[in-house]
Homo-oligomer: A and B are copies of this chain.
Amino acid sequence: MEEVRNQQIILQNYVNGFPKESDMLLITSSAINLNLPEASNAVLLKNLYLSCDPYMRGRMSKSQGSYFDSFTPGSPIGGLGVAKVVDSTHSNFKKGDLVWGGIRWEEYSIINDPQILFKIEDTDVPLSYYTGILGMPGLTAYVGFYEICAPKKGEYVFVSAASGAVGQLVGQFAKLSGCYVVGSAGTKEKVDLLKNKFGFDEAFNYKEEQDLDAALKRYFPDGIDIYFENVGGKMLEAVLSNMRINGRISVCGMISQYNLEQGEGVHNLSQLIAKDVRMQGFLVSRYFHMLPKYFEMIMPLIKQGKICYIEDFAEGLESAPAALVGLFSGRNVGKQVVAVARE
């Protein structure tokens, strides 16, 4: 009966406003037995990579209409990640399998209801990719861009938070579709990445623009056909004033709003009428059935080097709180991952 320690990151208390590292705590819980009881129907995981995602902010507040249930103070943070099956009494998984999906922020997780645990079939790519381009953010970019915006060649596409896990893919999908694409980000380094690494036609630092409306008019003198919305608030307002007729807005996230007591108001929604604009929100968890279709498209692109994907690694479970908090000040460059263990 082999037992190991199990360090965990727990939520200390519900969060108001910007989350701080001290809202979370690294603890060593009681030791965990590496063999599951025979009577169980569960999977025991050794966690390798944790995914830091903006939607997690909502789960740190006492539930008030967030997309998902709140975390429980005193219990480990839940999230997506990549893990290795150490033991399994569940018929879908066996020892040695690699999986991605819903895990917890700890060294080992026992998952009793492995409904959102997907077996990793292709290991010919970095395993951490299953927290990003081959996981939830990748599918998000795919669904939000292709399914919801139905891009046509030559259309004008704008992506906010464009160097993030989702945005960097949307921009590249737009180029693959023959669109003109502009991204916004919050540092010069990120703007350079967008233009030189991800192949955006143009990019700008929104923090350096006094007038977002004027900035968009500069990059889109003929207006925007497709907006991939990651930030909300003032940026959305500026975009609404610059949409073209029959424009589409895929509402993926609104990270600028998550830490505000009350969201910023959007004052010009009547632009939707003037331009016959469609604004469609979506939760990627309702589109997991499309993963096989997405993989069919994305795997060859990755293997042929036709798509570029940048990750930002934090090392060790202890670095996870800072990594998560950093998302909301834009500290990460590319997809924020926490490497708990490499194998």
Binding site for B on A (CB under 8 A): 65-67, 232, 236, 241, 245, 251-254, 257, 262-283, 286
Contact = CB atoms under 8 A, between A and B. Distances in A.
A272 B262 CA distance: 16
B254 A269 contact: yes
A281 B280 CA distance: 11
24 contacts: A65-B241, A65-B274, A66-B274, A67-B273, A232-B269, A232-B270, A245-B286, A251-B270, A251-B272, A254-B269, A254-B270, A257-B270, A263-B269, A264-B267, A265-B267, A266-B266, A266-B269, A270-B281, A273-B283, A274-B281, A274-B283, A276-B282, A278-B279, A279-B279
A273 B253 contact: yes
A267 B273 contact: no
A267 B262 contact: yes
A283 B280 CA distance: 18
A155 to B, nearest CB: 18
Contacts of A273: 67, 251-254, 281-283
B274 A263 contact: no
Nearest to A253: B273
Contacts of A280: 272, 276-279
Copies in the complex: 2
Q: What 8 A-B pairs come out closest when comparing CB atoms?
A: A265-B265, A272-B281, A273-B281, A263-B267, A279-B279, A278-B280, A67-B274, A251-B272
B268 A276 contact: no
Nearest to A265: B265
A271 B241 contact: no
Nearest to A233: B269
Contacts of A251: 269-270, 272-273
A232 B274 CA distance: 14
A128 to B, nearest CB: 26
A222 to B, nearest CB: 16
A192 to B, nearest CB: 30
B281 A276 contact: yes
Nearest to A272: B281
B65 A236 contact: no
A264 B66 CA distance: 23
A253 B271 CA distance: 10
A2 B193 CA distance: 75
A262 B265 CA distance: 11
Contacts of A286: 245, 276
A74 to B, nearest CB: 26
A249 to B, nearest CB: 9
A234 to B, nearest CB: 11
A269 B267 CA distance: 11
A283 B278 contact: no
Nearest to A274: B67
A232 B257 CA distance: 21
Given A251-B269, A257-B270, A276-B286, 19 more contacts: A66-B274, A67-B273, A232-B270, A245-B286, A251-B273, A252-B273, A254-B270, A263-B267, A263-B268, A263-B270, A264-B267, A265-B265, A265-B267, A271-B281, A273-B281, A273-B282, A274-B283, A278-B280, A278-B281
A92 to B, nearest CB: 27
